[in-house]
Structures are given as structure tokens and as C-alpha cells.
Chains A and B, each alone.
Chain A
Amino acid sequence: GAVVSQHPSWVICKSGTSVKIECRSLDFQATTMFWYRQFPKQSLMLMATSNEGSKATYEQGVEKDKFLINHASLTLSTLTVTSAHPEDSSFYICSARPPGGLYNEQFFGPGTRLTVL
């Protein structure tokens, strides 16, 4: 099956700093990738759709200036949490669907655990 990776797998930072998370599709090209956030014992919440070569589309209530998304190539999307605060501590997960794959069959990365002190 298709593989999506994320880096780093975990990160701890101080309040006020920015953190970049990478999402890569290893064996397929993805014009669209998705970013989710998940708090403990809760479901995944879709944050934004990352579009290769164009601006990301953010879900209602997600601050686009806070969560910067860049999809500069067909295999890489990055999420930057700017001026992180403790309430941004969460599990961030990305996903993508290979071309020609089943609709609604997304391949998810392993997630990045962000802890803001």
C-alpha cells in the first residue's frame, strides 16, 4: 500500500516558538494532502486541505495565520505552527490519496506529537 511519512514523530518546544511538521508521500504523488489535529480521547479534526502549487483551504475556525501550510512539491506538504502555545499541544496527522486509488481511501502518516511548554 501507499506510504505517507511525517517528520518529526514528536517535538517539544517552548511557548512562542514556531514548529514545522513535514508530511511526505513516499511512493506516489499527491496534489492534495490533508492535515488533522487530534486531542487525547477525541476524534480527528480536519484542519485544512493542502493544495500543491496553490493556497491551502482551511476549515472553519482554523486560523490560517497560525497554522501555515505549504505544498511546494507533489510529495511534500509542511505545516508550521507559528508562535505555539500550550493549547496547541496535540497530535497532528496528515493524509493523502494516491491517484487512481479508491475514493475515501486515504493513507495517513504516523502522526506528530507536539508538546508546547
Chain B
Amino acid sequence: LAKTTQPISMDSYEGQEVNITCSHNNIATNDYITWYQQFPSQGPRFIIQGYKTKVTNEVASLFIPADRKSSTLSLPRVSLSDTAVYYCLVAPTGRDDKIIFGKGTRLHILP
């Protein structure tokens, strides 16, 4: 599985757009990029997944440059309830479904 590197923590303010970047220099051709969100004392929740360019859903956008060696999770107009840990995962599809979590980014939204 490709190794990922994300900032350990980030602070932002309510109403701001937050961008969390994940580096994955050794991403393979058949790897997809997936982001999870985890609130304290809860199980993680799938946010978004992409392979290249841009993916958007009701929660976030995922930007992936052409070389795919990094990706950016963008959260528009965050609120206090977006305070959570965000995990970036890089893994191929069609394998054993096993997910190995990295350290994640602890996002703290301030009023």
C-alpha cells in the first residue's frame, strides 16, 4: 500500500474553506485515493474517493493533480462540527478490502 503523509494537525475558523493535503509519492496506477472523517468516540465515516482530477459531493471536494502524487481534500465553509480527524488512504481496488489507516490530520475549527 502506498505510504501517505498528511499534516498532523490544522486549525481554522468557522466559515473558512479548509484544504488538507496528502502526499503519496509512490501511488500505483491502480490505486484510488479515499478520505475518511472520524469524530471523537465514533467510527470513521467515508467522505470521498477519487482517481484523478476533481471529485465533488455534498460534503467535500477532492482535487488530484495529473501526476497523482498528492491530493487535497477541500471542505467548504467549515463549522465547529467539522472538528474531527481526517484520514487519507491510497489503495488499489479489487483486492481484499483491508484498510490500513495512517496517522490522519486532526482538524480543529475555532469559533
Contacts and interface: CB of A to CB of B under 8 A. Distances in A.
Interface of A: 4, 32, 34, 36, 43-46, 49, 91, 93-95, 97, 102-111, 113
Given A103-B95, A106-B97, A110-B42, 5 more contacts: A34-B97, A36-B101, A45-B101, A49-B98, A93-B43
Most-contacted residue by chain B among A32, A106, A111 (CB, 10 A): A106
Interface residues of B, number: 27
Nearest to B96: A49
B101 A102 contact: no
B111 interface: no
A95 B43 CA distance: 9
B86 to A, nearest CB: 11
Secondary structure class of chain B's binding surface, majority of residues: loop
A95 B99 contact: yes
B89 A104 contact: yes
B3 interface: no
Nearest to B90: A104
